[in-house]
Chains A and B, each alone.
Chain A
């Protein structure tokens, strides 16, 4: 740590002392060296402890040296920068390692055959088989849930932002907040008791889609509400002042202006429900065979497939579970990229 240079302080009243660009690296190297020394000297086993000591030394060292050379304000600035970077890295490590692990383990069983075949005639301990039935089930269930939840959610948000005043709007907002907190298993049990036990319908993809729609609706309402609130009031007034009725103003001016954000919100909600297992387990039941019809008979879905394959416990089944997890992540990722593309394509244009 002694190799940090000491530039002259207060050369002029406007020009303070400055650490050279390589100083942080030097301090980091010094901190690591000292931490290794302490670790070896004290006989600490865990390398995590070494790392933590190095990190603390680095932050302290930066503060002390920067405070001496550059002054206290810049020293605090450097420490704050270090903390922000540290938090960022801590946040990214689990995400990156999750993706790495899934790709590494999932690639083994992942190929075209896996995507286009079902588990119909494959036992848990046999290789082969695939996720066609589960992928189909997820697409159909999520699709139906989206078809139910998006119109209701967007219209509710329009009511809340453009029309809602007073008690009714307050009540709707309150219940949307409550719905946001419903655990997915409760939504599943609700549809189970209402649709299957009281009305006597059988297990089906549609029953699962209803539970997923219940989970999706509040997310769509919330995100759409925020996006509509972002539309400047001046645009609404400009439209109304042209003698355009309020409902046309909403359809032709307010919604197009916010459509990018609304789509993003919907896609995030879809991504959320695509990974739900509990309601699917209760209502769709699961099957190893291909069932095209979401309104009749059990279907499979990706999360349920992963759960079943993993609990089967054999090596080939575990490989299939990881490959299915990879497909689920890809599915959500593609949806997100689609949402971003739409948001960019529809965003208010600025070019000249």
Chain B
């Protein structure tokens, strides 16, 4: 069920401002790909173009191709809603729906899409919460509001919510940046388990995290402030961190700038 993503010549704009330029890469199925790079280099923007969330921002515009197993996400007649069902997303700050219980938060994707059988719902919720390593902590209070959980639990709730709709790909935009080291560890372990089933792309500012969780790493950079961000290189994580082929990558991961 995991799918492969091929990006070619992708450029994204905010109104007239070009945020990222001419990015081409391949994301392998059932693997974790990490995006690293200094702030403002367009990692998150690029991530959001992969499930057509970029165009939700007023003025957001995309040129180029994103192929999901040979189907162009920006082709004619493609429904962005269907794309987002196939490619799920977890955000930087945990954002459970405040009006819903823990159960309803996880079930939200199915319930609000209207495509579910009542009898299956509790199975899906249990499976998703187990998948997000949260089941044991919340199984006795599924009817309590999701906003009453701790930050780390909320983030795992958001992951459970995202995997409940059975996407092919899971995009994570700095999922641990608002969390403490223990919650971060819990989520990193979870990423390791999830990659058996999903294609995972994760944006992170934490290079140790990229080194720990990812199979491949992409380094983004921008030549100057106000210039569009570019993909500098993408390679196996081990190679990027030991023997990168571009000098800028080595400077960044060794802390010489950024």
Contact = CB atoms under 8 A, between A and B. Distances in A.
Decide whether A and B assemble into one complex. Answer: yes
Interface of A: 165, 232, 234-245, 248-249, 252-253, 256-257, 346, 348-352
B95 A235 contact: yes
B113 A234 contact: no
Interface in B43-68: 51, 53, 56, 58
Contact of A248 (B88, B97, B112): B112
B75 interface: no
Interface string B96-136: 01110000000011001100000000000000000000000
22 contacts: A234-B91, A237-B56, A237-B89, A237-B95, A238-B91, A238-B97, A238-B158, A239-B112, A240-B84, A242-B108, A243-B84, A243-B165, A244-B112, A245-B81, A252-B108, A252-B112, A348-B98, A349-B145, A350-B145, A350-B148, A351-B145, A352-B149
Interface in B133-190: 141, 144-145, 147-149, 158, 161-162, 165
B85 interface: yes
Contacts of A249: 112
B148 A242 contact: no
Nearest to A238: B95
- The binding surface of chain A is classed by DSSP as helix
A228 to B, nearest CB: 14
Contacts of A252: 108, 112
B225 interface: no
Given A241-B84, A242-B88, A350 B147 contact: yes
A352 B144 contact: yes
Contacts, number: 90
Contacts of B99: 253, 256-257, 346, 348-349
Given A241-B162, A242-B84, A257 B98 contact: yes
Given A232-B95, A235-B97, A252-B112, A241 B147 contact: no
Contacts of A235: 95, 97-98
Nearest to A243: B85
B53 A239 contact: no
Contacts of A240: 53, 56, 84
Interface residues of B, number: 32
Contact of A243 (B58, B98, B109, B158): B109
A242 B165 contact: yes
B97 A241 contact: no
Contacts of B85: 242-243
Nearest to A244: B112
A238 B157 CA distance: 12
Given A243-B81, A245-B81, 17 more contacts: A236-B56, A237-B91, A237-B95, A241-B84, A242-B108, A242-B165, A243-B83, A244-B81, A248-B113, A253-B97, A257-B97, A346-B99, A348-B99, A348-B145, A349-B98, A352-B141, A352-B148
A332 B98 CA distance: 30
Contacts of B158: 238
Given A237-B91, A257-B99, A243 B108 contact: no
B205 interface: no
A244 B144 contact: no
Given A234-B91, A234-B93, A348-B99, A244 B147 contact: no
Nearest to A249: B112
Contacts of B144: 351-352
Nearest to A231: B98
A234 B81 CA distance: 17
A232 B165 CA distance: 23
A43 B149 CA distance: 69
A238 B84 CA distance: 11
Contacts of B109: 242-244
A256 B149 CA distance: 20
A257 B161 CA distance: 18
